Structure 1
């Protein structure tokens, strides 16, 4: 599969439309775009929240949730990020994940990220998010990104966030590079034998 045909979907678990977490997910999508990926989309739990709050039956999803699930199903690569509240990802994020068919994400490449007030919350990446997506049979990328809230500050007009340092963007680039490599898979066996 060529870079141009890859479908990458970002999923932000933030509960507000303007958030550090969504900014982080958008940075991942921008990094994929720099590699030539053009089929990029962003799902926001904040925008899905009104529908999630009234949905408990995975077989009776409202149209907005059906569309979100369809986007994830069609994705080749998924970027997942959540703010950390009370030591875990957001409840509505988990509720959305609970509505997914266990086979939906099987074999998909997933990048993991989170935001929080202190580095202590970074454990959510390895102890909660990675096991969660391993349950689905997804292939999680080794390099994760955790951002302290202080790493992103609002611009003067309050319309968006900007990074205090360049280091997170470098880590995002590494994670994206790993995802593209992982998604491409190993070289054909005959090629590997010839190379030896």
Structure 2
């Protein structure tokens, strides 16, 4: 990917948490804020909970919230893919958003994998669930991932 160093980095974060507020949303906000300290950003966060009422709509309508979100994701310079881990994997809502994305939409796009969870064992989901999902899309998953355990958050 070639981009102008003068233009802000278009970052699209997808928060797959079904809860509002959530630890995943807080972690995404912290990552975006810290990234913004080092690079000019044009950052957007898509919260899957905001899309739930529209999942049954025709997402082919370019004006629909689903279509707009998919276009944001496909047009990103960097995607931050974040979800809490439930039963060893990302949430169903998170997966549903990416199921609607065209198979080549993320080809060559860098993706930072991010997860939160209540057990250290859930860190494996980043390698065994997230990475293969974005491999399907031919995305360039970053060689590192971020996992935060419940104990790392303060109330």
Q: TM-score, normalised by structure 1?
A: 0.73
CA distance, structure 1, for counterparts of residue 6 and residue 18 of structure 2? 31
Where in structure 1 do 4 or more consecutive aligned residues deviate above 2 Å? 57-62
Other-structure match for 1:6:
9
Other-structure match for 1:189:
none
Other-structure match for 1:41:
44
Verify the 8 A CA contact 1:17 1:44 in the aligned structure 2. Answer: no
Q: TM-score, normalised by structure 2?
A: 0.91
More helix by share: 1
What runs of 5+ residues in structure 1 fail to find an aligned partner?
155-196
CA distance, structure 2, for counterparts of residue 107 and residue 21 of structure 1? 25
CA distance, structure 2, for counterparts of residue 3 and residue 62 of structure 1? 30
CA distance, structure 2, for counterparts of residue 78 and residue 148 of structure 1? 22
For residue 62 of structure 1, report the CA deviation from its aligned partner: 6.8
Q: What is the DSSP-based 3-state SS (H/G/I as helix, E as strand, rest coil) of the residue aligned with 1:49?
A: helix
Measured against aligned partners, the alpha-carbon deviations of 1:62-97 in whole angstroms (never above 9, x if no partner) come to 711111011112111011110011111101111111
Measured against aligned partners, the alpha-carbon deviations of 1:28-72 in whole angstroms (never above 9, x if no partner) come to 1112211132211111011112222x25x6545771111101111
Verify the 8 A CA contact 1:103 1:136 in the aligned structure 2. Answer: yes
Other-structure match for 1:105:
106
Structure 1 residues 147 and 3: alpha-carbon distance in aligned structure 2, compared to 1, 3 A threshold: farther
CA distance, structure 2, for counterparts of residue 78 and residue 44 of structure 1? 13
For residue 17 of structure 1, report the CA deviation from its aligned partner: 2.7
More strand by share: 2
For residue 109 of structure 1, report the CA deviation from its aligned partner: 0.4
Measured against aligned partners, the alpha-carbon deviations of 1:138-183 in whole angstroms (never above 9, x if no partner) come to 00111111111121122xxxxxxxxxxxxxxxxxxxxxxxxxxxxx
Other-structure match for 2:76:
75
Q: What is the DSSP-based 3-state SS (H/G/I as helix, E as strand, rest coil) of the residue aligned with 2:144?
A: coil
What runs of 5+ residues in structure 2 fail to find an aligned partner?
none
Q: Could you say which structure has the larger radius of gyration?
A: 1
Verify the 8 A CA contact 1:122 1:146 in the aligned structure 2. Answer: yes
CA distance, structure 1, for counterparts of residue 30 and residue 6 of structure 2? 18
